[in-house]
Amino acid sequence: MQNRSSTAVLKDTIQLLETEQKIEGRLLKEQFYLTYESLKPVNLLRSSIRDVVSPPYLIDNIVGTAVGLATGYLSKKIVIGTSGNIIRKFFGLLMQLGVTNTIAQHPDSIKSIGQFIYQHFLHKKSDKSRIL
Residue 82 and residue 33 share a domain: no
Integer angstrom CA distances of residue 105 from 1, 7, 62, 115:
80, 71, 12, 18
Which segments of 39-106 does DSSP mark as H helices, in order? 41-53, 55-80, 86-105
Q: Considering the entire predicted model, what is its pTM?
A: 0.45
Residue 32 and residue 59 share a domain: no
Span 17-75, pLDDT tens digits: 999 999 999 999 999 999 998 888 888 888 877 776 677 667 777 777 788 888 888 88
Whether residue 46 lies inside any domain: the answer is: no
Whether residue 28 lies inside any domain: the answer is: yes
Whether residue 108 lies inside any domain: the answer is: yes
Q: Count up the domains in the chain and report the number.
A: 2
Whether residue 63 lies inside any domain: the answer is: yes
Q: Please report the pLDDT score of residue 3 as a whole number.
A: 63
Percent of the chain exceeding pLDDT 70 equals 84
Residue 85 and residue 125 share a domain: yes
Whether residue 47 lies inside any domain: the answer is: no
User: Which residues constitute the domain of residue 121?
Assistant: 55-131
Whether residue 122 lies inside any domain: the answer is: yes
Q: Please report the pLDDT score of residue 31 as a whole number.
A: 95
Whether residue 105 lies inside any domain: the answer is: yes
Compare 83 and 18 and report the one with higher pLDDT.
18
Mean pLDDT of 93-117: 83
